[in-house]
Structure 1
Amino acid sequence: MSLLYADDECLNKPINHTRLNMHAVELFQPRAIAQATHIIKPLLVSADIPIEAGELSLFSTHPQTINLITPNQQLITIHRYNNGLSPMGMVLKSSDFDDLLTFLLDGEIPLYQLPTGELQIGLYLISLATHVCQLTLKSHSLINKSDIASLLKQINQPTGLFGELSNNLSGEYPPQLEMLCSTMNNLMNGIADDITPFIGLGPGLTPSFDDIIVGMLAVISGDHRFTTQMRQLKLAFEPLPLDLLTTKVSVSFLTYALQGKFSLLVQQVIKSFEKHNYRHSSIKNLVNYGHTSGSDLLLGIWLGIDRFVLRD
């Protein structure tokens, strides 16, 4: 079986166990875990998937994803094959995903994460002994701004709040986007400003402005020239009550983005831009991601390029 998700260079880093609370490991004694009879081996797992021994909760189910949540409110996302990989996720074969989803929807199922990081979902045990993908983005900024603008001007998919993506490439942006760029610039330069009006703003499971911010960070955070500014931005975000401002899924993506970690699909798009490959399948896949999330992410990527990385 061929894996279509990552280049070999992405598959070398072990899973990050730093989030594992060793005290919790010592005390973790599940009330009653039945002996697993079905072992599922993911096709791919993020190196930074949360590992927190204890009882999990089922947060949400969708045709392409299953979201679990740890006692410390960290999200673990199980993806169906060919639907990307998030920094908090793993990818299952479609048949395994369907079996698991059907099992979860049949009734109340005991859910646990073991000290090893493995997931036990009723009689199913999801192993982590598989390909591990490093999702920290390192960008070299070898991009052609005019070529990317020409590409995005051909994309007529709607964004969440600003009409078609193609109508937002002129450099003259709606006032809300101008204010967002100004606020981000202030925070990155240690100037006090309030970004909370933008967090959680817009439609979607991941609201539009959150997707735009993640897209901006995908360009900025991997560029070594912005190391100091990213440190300032993280400091500005640390005290914000993100859980009260936006959705749980969006909190996860924003938190990882501030650490320089992004979904594999976003990474593939950035890498395709660096290689001047504007026909890469990842671009079309991102455009079609969610109802408007893909277009909002691309709008954010463009704003990151136009207003920060390659500002005129």
Structure 2
Amino acid sequence: MNTVLALAGCALPFTNGCLLRLHSRFIHAINFIDEHDVLFTLHRYGKGCSPFGWVIRERDFASLRDITSLQVEHGKLHGAKLNIGNRRQITFAAPVGALPPLDVRTFTQMTGLLGPLNQIAEGMTFPVLERVICGLSKWSAGDTPDWSNLIGLGPGLTPSGDDMLCGALAALYCHPRYRNKLRQHLFLPTYRQVMTLTTLVSCSYLDNAARGQFSTQVLRLLYALNKGQCVLPAARALLNHGHTSGADTLLGFVTAQEWLEDNA
């Protein structure tokens, strides 16, 4: 039996003996689910890592193409005559500290719903952004926001509305005041409720974001802002994620940052 070692990733959220079955297979990611529809992803190196996945070296990724199920045994995965372990467990938590505003006026990447990032002029009113702001204000006031008109909205495996909410949550989790509030007051519907509104992959990103866990592409940007470093490499890496996912995430992030300026 051959052994494959992931370069890094999350702690396995599954009990010993749990069976994971293949959910979907893409060029850069292979998704598995357990009996409760909890997602786990094997990512090809160079495309970042989700907070529910492991990164596999490119030369090893090809050996996973025939796997249709994985058995969890003592922190490792077994399937198709392969043992898959993880070299390094990493944290996906956002840094703490109010972040300087991110300027997206030089980014021409397309969002899923509103055109290029740099053409979404400051001060203009867009119904989709108004939904985000309205939801943030409602949640901040102690009410439960209704995100059903945003979750699942737009194109892609992770729809634009979902990516925007993940970006907004990233901005909130970095702010000490709202980080604590997120742990006390429900921001999103339950996992099962979100599953009825969007894709399982997107549901997993939203569920982790609601708990302060973000992809490595998002974290790279957050930590660059937190440390006062040049953010362009991190921003560009995030913008290259998916067709519009990176741009939509940044749009949600800067929208929440603008809201924080008025409500911090």
TM-score norm. by structure 1 comes to 0.79
Aligned partners of 1:59 and 1:68 also within 8 Å: yes
* 1:171-204 C-alpha deviation (Å, 9 max, x unpaired): 3230221122112220232124422111111111
| Alignment partner of 1:127 out of 85, 90, 95 | 85
Q: Does 1:72 align with 2:30?
A: no
Q: 1:240 to 1:78 in 2, by over 3 A?
A: closer
1:4 corresponds to which residue? none
* 1:7-66 C-alpha deviation (Å, 9 max, x unpaired): xxxxxxxxxxxxxxxxxxxxxxxxxxxxxx11111110123x422332211011111111
Q: 1:240 to 1:173 in 2, by over 3 A?
A: farther
| Alignment partner of 1:51 out of 14, 28, 37 | 14
CA–CA separation in structure 2 for the residues paired with 1:227 and 1:274: 15
Shift of 1:270: 1.2
Aligned-partner residue type, residue 234 of structure 2: S
Q: 1:122 to 1:260 in 2, by over 3 A?
A: same
Question: Which consecutive unaligned segments of at least 5 residues does structure 2 have?
Answer: none
Shift of 1:285: 1.0
Aligned partners of 1:56 and 1:69 also within 8 Å: yes
CA–CA separation in structure 1 for the residues paired with 2:85 and 2:144: 45
Q: Does 1:248 align with 2:200?
A: yes
1:171 corresponds to which residue? 123
* 1:195-250 C-alpha deviation (Å, 9 max, x unpaired): 21111111110000000000000010132111453145426523861111100001
What are the residue-to-residue correspondences of 1:1-312 with 2, within 5 Å?
37-47=1-11, 49-52=12-15, 53-101=17-65, 103-104=66-67, 109-114=68-73, 116-128=74-86, 130-143=87-100, 145=101, 148-149=102-103, 152-231=104-183, 233-234=185-186, 237-238=189-190, 241-308=193-260, 310-311=261-262
Aligned-partner residue type, residue 80 of structure 2: G
CA–CA separation in structure 1 for the residues paired with 2:20 and 2:210: 25
Q: 1:141 to 1:60 in 2, by over 3 A?
A: same
Q: Tell me which moved more, 179-188 or 38-47.
A: 179-188
Pairs aligned (count): 262
Shift of 1:251: 0.7
Provide the secondary structure at the position in 2 that maps to 1:66. Answer: strand
Shift of 1:99: 1.6
Higher relative contact order (CA 8 A, sep 6+): 2
Aligned partners of 1:220 and 1:226 also within 8 Å: yes
TM-score norm. by structure 2 comes to 0.92
Aligned partners of 2:166 and 2:209 also within 8 Å: yes
Q: Tell me which moved more, 288-297 or 224-233.
A: 224-233
Provide the secondary structure at the position in 2 that maps to 1:234. Answer: coil
CA–CA separation in structure 1 for the residues paired with 2:13 and 2:21: 14
Shift of 1:264: 1.0
Identity %: 31
Aligned-partner residue type, residue 203 of structure 1: P
Q: 1:72 to 1:264 in 2, by over 3 A?
A: same
Q: Which has the larger radius of gyration?
A: 1
CA–CA separation in structure 1 for the residues paired with 2:152 and 2:193: 11
Root-mean-square deviation (CA, aligned residues, Å) is 1.9
CA–CA separation in structure 1 for the residues paired with 2:144 and 2:192: 13
Aligned partners of 1:188 and 1:230 also within 8 Å: no
